[in-house]
Structure 1
Amino acid sequence: MEAQKNIKVECLAWQESWDLFQKKVGQDTLDSHAEIPMLAEVVAKECCGLPLALVIIGRAMACKKTTEEWNYAINVLQRAASIFPGMGDRVFPILKFSFDSLPSDAIKSCFLYCSLFPEDFNILKENLIDYWIGEGFLHEFDACLLEKSSRDIIRMHDVVRDMALWIAYEHGKVKDEFFVRTRVGLIEAPEFTRWVSAKRISLMENRIEKLTGAPPCPNLLTLFLDLNNLRMITNGFFQFMPDLRVLSLSRNRWLTEIPLEICNLVSLQYLDLSHTNIRLLPIELKNLQNLKCLNLNFTQILYVIPRHLISSFSLLRVLRMYSCDFSDELTNCSVLSGGNEDLLEELESLKQLHDLSITLESATALLRICDSKLQSCTRDVYLKILYGVTSLNISSLENMKRLEKLCISNCSTLESLEIDYVGEEKKLLASYNLHNSMVRSHKCFNSLKHVRIDSCPILKDLTWLIFAPNLIHLGVVFCPKMEKKLKSIYWKALRVPHLKEIRVRSCPQLKKLPLNSNSTAGCGTVIYGEKYWANELEWEDEGSRHAFLPCFISW
């Protein structure tokens, strides 16, 4: 019999979890020592609301009446839950039934891949899709279907992650295909003997500063080195990784150059250098002819990308260059010089490009991208330092049907952002009859979710946001001239049912937000701002004040 309706079963809330755990442990054990109730709470929280784990672990602890036994249990659960009595032989086998029921080996591989990240880690959906494509789990069509999901962040339940690692280590076709040492305080790489049989290695969130030697990794497909303190990777380190497909060095702020050996990883399909301080990309990267995803987001002092390098990646599907602030040391040999128009010319030659995040430094470059085939694949736009521009018409952005994120930053002369209100749009704006269904039928930015306006000191209003009905995050920072008479954003309350967050800093003239008690009903909006600013805000009525004041968090 097939299911008639799918019902999402949530984990238990804390009080329900604690009540169930206490019941299984028993009052006699809880009363056996004054510290045990406190330790028992720690153990119960390790179960993260999963009823099966609460029952099995609670029963296992029912006979433990010393603090030493409880502290040992906490250590085991936090270090390797699979060796806790009852987990490896009772809890995980039951959970594994769900894993075994997944419809294909590819989906099973995607699931196990999530265990490479640290416990409670927020995994960006877009990055996860890129990894899976790089590994070969997904094809482009599958990725397009996944991109339609409304969730931007994925987090794996702690117990489910432990189960996934248990499967990867103990029940794979070959044991030890996964080697995961995340968030364990490593200051150097683990012994290379564990690397030999591994296909996937994750050393995320440690304190490793230097990688030396030449680990033998004939089978390695994925290597995660994110969130370390890497300063140097010596020659030879990547020498014996012939099949490496996914390499992530993201969030290593001390990393200023990449070793040339990476240019010889000819099987590489995904390379993540985001949030590093690399200064140049070597022309030898041309060797990476299988590269499909290149992430350069937030490489804030990158100043050299050799001409014809980007255009040489003929299979490139994803390019992320959001908030690439570029250095003042730009040279003519770099495609980044000349207001980004040379870069756009190279991007236009990439036939496989599907997903683009881009930083632009001229209004001319913005007009060019909006009038080219790139508009159909552009997801994120970062506009910065538009010298001499006093007014910017952003109507052309409406043609970017996939645009999700827009930032306008450090535009010292920018006074206004304009949009062409014509025909019905103008009537709509004037009458302010703005139900979401009506907004979607008119010219607007339906896909836009994240907007940040930063350091635009004479910009006066954001009226155009009336046509962004699906906005989730709004940030306005260091914009002291926002006009009170226009309430800076709109003069009436907007209905923005998806709005989750507003951030405001150093905008003293912003006296009223376009919100009332009905604007974000049930959305749980959080508003960040200075305390003095929050105290001086004007509200449409007392109901609005009472609805949003509890949502404030001071900077």
Structure 2
Amino acid sequence: MITKVEDHYKMELPGSLVLDPPGETFPTTVLIGESTAEKVKKEIWACLLDDNDVRKIGVYGMGGIGKSTVMEHINNSLLKETNMFDRVIWVTVSKPFNVIQLQHDIARKLGLDLKEVKHERERAVQLKAKLEAEKRFVLILDDMWEAFPLETIGIPEPTSSNGCKLKEARKLFLDKLGRDVFDTTDLKAIAEEVLERCAQLPLAIVTIAASFKRLTHDFQWRDALEDLKTSIKGSNDIEAQVFKILEFSYERLKDGKLQQCLLYCALYPEDFKIDKQELIEHLIDEGIIERRNSRKAEYDRGYSMLIELENACLLEVASPQFKVEGHLGLEDFSDEGKWREDLVKASLMYNNISRIPPNASPMCPKLSTLLLQGNKSLKDVPDSLFEHLHGLNVLDLSNTSIESLPNSVSNLENLTTLRLGGCWKLKHVPSLAKLTKLRKLDLENTGITEVPHGLEMLVNLRYLNLNVDTLKIMPPEILPKLSCLQYLIFCCDMKLEEVASLKNLETFGGRFSDMYEFSTYMEKGQLATYEIHVGSIRDLAGSIRGKKVHG
């Protein structure tokens, strides 16, 4: 769904959305057709206008997926399309939660000055009186992370006469569960307790419901409830409780590979939209998706894993479900406390890093993954950085501004993946001759003018991207030695016999010098996908793209 409710309130969670009488109209982007956002908007609108028992509406979903955008559309529609409400008020709840700040924000929207009112209770009394005078109002609370009783703030309990409406936790639970367990004698009491443990937190409700959805017997429900109670024991604040419930759902996955997939998503920055194909490629690189007979089979496994996590409400579309905090920053390169010896994966991607201290040399012998991609201002990586990182399997420096890859990379003999795509200033790559375990090498859109020294030694290479305009020649003796290649892209002219020797190739992008060689190669029919240019670089006759699906 496209909305994330932090309207997770155990006592009567008032969020942080408040709208004004004539109200403020927000500039909005278009919600396209029958997209998820449009469907959610229609559902919320129906709840607002129907004269039913819905008096509170929780809008839930991960950060950055469009909750506020949908509600801005609702806000604007309420202001111009209906006279059902006397006032529409939008307020954003501050983080950390502050009662005084929220009271003043709501009061300001109501034209009420509470600056001289010193006591919280007095402010609540005046706010309540002002809101009750409105009779029919919509109060929208945005970006809520803490539960609190409505009366603490001064928000009157919604009734059928004052028009404030909310979607009940039980309905949300049943909607996600897919069946009415409250009508089942054996499960009713268990379901009531499960729902109570969710503390009316919508994110917790949908996650737990998805986890319980697969359980068919009462003993399974009892067992899962005991696990849930153990998991959340001692969690008092809302954020800790939500995390514990998500952790419970994580443990219930049972499949270790699914758990690893979810943890890998946590390496991305908060609210980062992860491209599914990119994620699957990275899961393959990490070995989370185990090697199969073909890349297509590996992709099938990847998509299946993502769907399972979506169904468990632990991933949403292409975004990670967990809020990622505590990313290492520039200053952490020199903070040895952050680079512990037992560190296994380190993510500094998209961190606006512009330089790495010249003496940076983390002592992390167990580090297997180092992600530095997306730091566009990063121009130099010191040799010392890799001095003690000989266990490194995956190194990602893609989409940075480095001009030279440090020579110390030549000694990373356990490296299986080296991603340098988009490093358009990169001219120098040291010898790769020792990196015989390398399975993936991505040099797309770099500035290299010749293939790296030792490329012919990479006999385990399965993925090679040399889509580089500045690279003019591929030495003829190299490709036949890379017999494991499944994915090959490059711009140089090539000979039929060179490519034909690659029996495992599934995806190919390249250039043949004439139509005869192209036709001869295509008759072999071994490719799943291809993009082939026919003609010399100066006299390009055309390009042919296609996709074949076998089996």
The TM-score with structure 2 as length reference comes to 0.52
Deviation at 1:111, TM superposition (A): 2.0
Deviation at 1:30, TM superposition (A): 3.6
Note closer, same or farther for the CA distance 1:374–1:110 as it changes in structure 2 (3 Å cut).
same
Q: Does 2:496 match 1:367?
A: yes
Q: How does 1:146-165 map to 2 (within 5 A)?
A: 146-148=298-300, 156-157=315-316, 161=320, 163=322, 165=324
Deviation at 1:70, TM superposition (A): 8.2
> Is the contact between residue 29 and residue 64 of structure 1 (CA under 8 Å) also seen in structure 2?
no
Q: Name which of structure 1's ranges 189-198 and 146-155 shifts more when overlaid on structure 2.
A: 146-155
> Is the contact between residue 99 and residue 108 of structure 1 (CA under 8 Å) also seen in structure 2?
yes
Match of 2:335 among 186, 191, 194: 191
Structure having the higher Rg: 2
- Secondary structure of 2:322's counterpart equals helix
Deviations 1:411-438 (A, max 9, x none): 553456699xxxxxxxxxxxxxxxxxxx
Deviation at 1:224, TM superposition (A): 0.3
Deviation at 1:222, TM superposition (A): 0.7
Match of 1:303 among 449, 454, 465: 449
C-alpha distance in 1 between matches for 2:236 and 2:462: 44
C-alpha distance in 2 between matches for 1:317 and 1:28: 51
C-alpha distance in 1 between matches for 2:421 and 2:13: 47
C-alpha distance in 2 between matches for 1:69 and 1:380: 62
Q: How does 1:142-541 map to 2 (within 5 A)?
A: 145-148=297-300, 156-157=315-316, 161=320, 163=322, 165=324, 180-181=327-328, 186=330, 189=333, 191-196=335-340, 197-212=342-357, 213-228=360-375, 229-252=377-400, 254-276=401-423, 277-283=425-431, 285-299=432-446, 301-306=447-452, 309-321=454-466, 323-327=467-471, 337=473, 340=474, 342-343=475-476, 345-353=477-485, 355-362=486-493, 365=494, 367-369=496-498, 372-374=500-502, 376-383=504-511, 396-397=521-522, 399-405=525-531, 413-415=539-541, 445-447=547-549
Deviation at 1:373, TM superposition (A): 3.6
> Is the contact between residue 47 and residue 159 of structure 1 (CA under 8 Å) also seen in structure 2?
no
Note closer, same or farther for the CA distance 1:37–1:202 as it changes in structure 2 (3 Å cut).
farther
> Is the contact between residue 200 and residue 220 of structure 1 (CA under 8 Å) also seen in structure 2?
yes
> Is the contact between residue 242 and residue 267 of structure 1 (CA under 8 Å) also seen in structure 2?
yes
Note closer, same or farther for the CA distance 1:415–1:47 as it changes in structure 2 (3 Å cut).
closer
Deviation at 1:75, TM superposition (A): 10
C-alpha distance in 2 between matches for 1:202 and 1:27: 33
C-alpha distance in 1 between matches for 2:15 and 2:277: 47
Tell me the percent identity: 21
Gaps of 5+ in 1: 1-10, 167-178, 328-335, 420-443, 449-555
- Secondary structure of 1:145's counterpart equals helix
> Is the contact between residue 224 and residue 248 of structure 1 (CA under 8 Å) also seen in structure 2?
yes
> Is the contact between residue 218 and residue 241 of structure 1 (CA under 8 Å) also seen in structure 2?
yes
Letter in 2 for 1:347: L
The number of equivalent residue pairs is: 362
Deviations 1:278-316 (A, max 9, x none): 223322x212222222111222x2113256x12211222
Note closer, same or farther for the CA distance 1:379–1:64 as it changes in structure 2 (3 Å cut).
farther
Deviation at 1:221, TM superposition (A): 1.2
Note closer, same or farther for the CA distance 1:19–1:374 as it changes in structure 2 (3 Å cut).
same
Deviation at 1:116, TM superposition (A): 0.9
The TM-score with structure 1 as length reference comes to 0.52
C-alpha distance in 1 between matches for 2:542 and 2:345: 50
> Is the contact between residue 393 and residue 417 of structure 1 (CA under 8 Å) also seen in structure 2?
no
Q: 1:66 is matched with which residue?
A: 101
> Is the contact between residue 180 and residue 203 of structure 1 (CA under 8 Å) also seen in structure 2?
yes
Gaps of 5+ in 2: 27-56, 72-91, 107-140, 147-203, 205-231
C-alpha distance in 2 between matches for 1:96 and 1:264: 39
- Secondary structure of 1:278's counterpart equals coil
Deviation at 1:261, TM superposition (A): 0.8
C-alpha distance in 1 between matches for 2:275 and 2:319: 18
C-alpha distance in 1 between matches for 2:536 and 2:398: 25
Deviation at 1:242, TM superposition (A): 2.4
C-alpha distance in 2 between matches for 1:45 and 1:160: 10
